[in-house]
Amino acid sequence: MDLLSSSPCKYEHAAARVEWGIATRSRAELEKGRAHAVNCGAAALVKAADQALRELGFLRGDE
């Protein structure tokens, strides 16, 4: 993750964070990935992070 954080590949960094958050069931990683996705305009990644956060019980259905 550290290598990607300094990379100009913002989408790839966001995608890696979201996927890692899903794989590890980590709220912190999902939230970091979601924030990166918002910053680079990756709506599908934001949606994936939100869905994973909901499925893991970190968000209510209306958030």
- Show the tokens assigned to 14: 């966001």
Looking at residue 8, its pLDDT comes to 65
Q: What are the boundaries of each domain within the chain?
A: 2-55
Note the pTM of the prediction, 2 decimals: 0.81
Q: State the pLDDT confidence band at 49, using cuts at 50, 70 and 90.
A: very high
Q: What is the pLDDT of residues 1-10, one digit of tens each?
A: 555 555 568 8
Q: What is the mean pLDDT of the chain?
A: 87
pLDDT at 10: 87
Contact by Cβ (8 Å): 38, 50:
no
Query: Does residue 19 surpass a pLDDT of 80?
Result: yes
Mean pLDDT of 21-37: 96
Q: Residue 16 corresponds to which tokens in the numbers above? A: 């890696």
Question: What region, left, alpha or beta, does residue 19 occupy, with left being phi > 0 and alpha being psi -120 to 50 degrees?
Answer: alpha
